[in-house]
Amino acid sequence: MNSESISAVKNLLNSPKNIVVVGHKNPDGDAIGSCLGLANFLRQKGHLVSVLMPNDFPTFLKWIPEAANITIYEKDVKKSKELVTKADIIFTLDFNALNRTGGLQDLLENAKATFVLIDHHQQPDDYATIIYSDVTMCSTSQMVFHFMEALDGLDFLNAAIATQLYVGMMTDTGSFRFPATTATTHRVIANLIDAGAKNSEIHQNVYDTNSPDRLKLLGTALNNLVLIPEYNTAFITLSQEELNTNNFKKGDTEGFVNYALSIEGIVFAIIFIENKKEGIIKISLRSKGDFSVNEFSRSHFNGGGHTNAAGGRSLLSLPETIAEFSSLLPNYKKALSYGS
Ligand code: 5GP
Ligand code: MN
């Protein structure tokens, strides 16, 4: 965070404020962890703080301290409107464009509050007065730690914040193995463990709570895996019918795409998940090396994210989406050659 932003934030927070901390639609571990951690910190500093998410989040994140206090827009529209309307400051965390907030987008676009953005995704939009954007960071949760540090606030780091930020850093780094994991990441993690984050327990709470249904769905997904060796690419499809057969619950498909990327020689992996209710195909893209799935998704699938992890959507049917995807690959032959 640069010194100008630090003094602007200090200025903004020098008297008690009504604050709302907002995460993105389909919140993941980093969205939930970073928002809760920041909220706990700001509350200790004397502000009135609420955490607001566009829609619900998976069961494997519900155990996180203070997660039960999160307001979910889709479940409580009236309260959400009230919070946004009364806010002096709105922190938006772990996303960089208001169109990532689903039904909250309109409300946020019309809010009178001062916006502060904290995020690590590429190419942030220009809606916030104060922007703390750093695409080299492994997670927004790590940025919240640095934010506290910049405000001389590490004395406020308690076991709840440590746990919340640990979850975000762990999930966004694939348990500290993705390239954005740095020595600083591990130093921050050491601080979180010292402050009371129970690392092994957290790992179990998030990853070792599979339902039999989820594992069966994973079986279906792996069965549907298609390899395109010519482009070092692999993709997975899941139809709505397949999701229904396996009693799909929110979060069940989290991480499936990584199995496709784990295949030797594969540099580009993608999963297409049909969502009949929303009339879209939800897409998750992952890559190894320099091939930018952020650019690919921005160009073809209304999405974005990071170089090696991005999301997107298609309004075509599942077979049409696959056909379109397959027709795009020849344009990327060189970029997809191994080790490029
Ligand atoms: P996932 O595949 O897990 O949904 O998303 C992968 C990464 O890309 C996450 O960091 C997520 O926040 C980001 N992402 C997902 N969808 C979008 C999108 O539509 N636009 C942008 N800018 N980022 C996205
Ligand atoms: Mn993140």
Give the pairing of strands 280-287 and 268-275.
Answer: antiparallel
Q: Which ligand 1 atom is the nearest neighbour of the CA of 96?
A: 22
CA of 41 to the centre of ligand 2 (A): 19
Residue reference for tokens 């954007």 = 133
Q: What is the pLDDT of residues 137-162, one digit of tens each?
A: 999 999 999 999 999 999 999 999 99
DSSP string, 44-101: HTT-EEEEEESS---GGGTTSTTGGG-EETTT-HHHHHHHHHH-SEEEEES-SSGGGG
The Cα 206–Cα 220 span in angstroms is 22
Name the pLDDT band for 338 (thresholds 50, 70, 90).
low
- Residue 27 Cβ inside 6 Å of ligand 1? The answer reads no
pLDDT at residue 207 tops 60? yes
pTM: 0.95
User: Region 97-126: what's the mean pLDDT?
Assistant: 97
In angstroms, rounded to a whole number, what is the distance separating the alpha carbons of residues 171 and 292?
21
Q: How close is the Cα of 215 to the center of ligand 1, in Å?
A: 24
Q: How far is the CA of 146 from the centre of ligand 2 (A)?
A: 15
User: By alpha-carbon position, which residue is closest to atom 13 of ligand 1?
Assistant: 305
Give the type of residue at 113.
A
Q: Would the pLDDT of 340 be above 80?
A: no
Predicted local distance difference test score (pLDDT) of residue 288 = 95
**Residue 202: predicted pLDDT:** 98
Q: Which ligand is nearest to the CA of 139?
A: 2
Name the residue at shortest CA distance from atom 6 of ligand 1.
Answer: 310
Instruction: Tell me the average pLDDT across 171-195.
Output: 97
User: Is the Cβ atom of 260 under 6 angstroms away from ligand 1?
Assistant: no
195 has a pLDDT exceeding 60: yes
In this prediction, residue 284 carries a pLDDT of 98
pLDDT tens digits for range 286-321: 999 999 999 999 999 999 999 999 999 999 999 999
Q: Note the pLDDT of residue 122.
A: 93
Structure tokens at 36: 């809760």
pLDDT of residue 84: 98
The answer to whether the beta carbons of residues 32 and 70 sit under 8 Å apart is yes
Do the beta carbons of residue 35 and residue 22 sit within 8 Å?
yes
pLDDT at 339 over 90: no
Instruction: For residue 314, give the ligand nearest its CA.
Output: 1
- Ligand with minimal distance to 168 CA: 2
Instruction: Give the residue, by CA position, lying nearest to ligand 1 atom 2.
Output: 284
pLDDT of amino acid 196: 98
Q: What value does the mean pLDDT of the chain take? A: 97
CA 25 to each of CA 9, 187, 320, 329: distance values in angstroms, whole numbers, following the listed order:
26, 30, 25, 29
Please tell me the residue having the least CA distance from ligand 1 atom 23. 305
Q: Is the CB of 310 under 6 A from ligand 1?
A: yes
Q: What is the mean pLDDT of residues 64-90?
A: 98
- What the block records as the tokens of 208 is 């070792």
Nearest CA to ligand 1 atom 17: 311
At residue 63, does pLDDT exceed 70? yes
For residues 329 and 205, give the distance between their C-alpha atoms in angstroms, rounded to a whole number: 39
Closest approach atom of ligand 1 to CA 123: 22
- The pair of three-digit structure tokens given for residue 217, joined into one six-digit string: 């769905």
Q: Is the CB of 133 under 6 A from ligand 1?
A: no
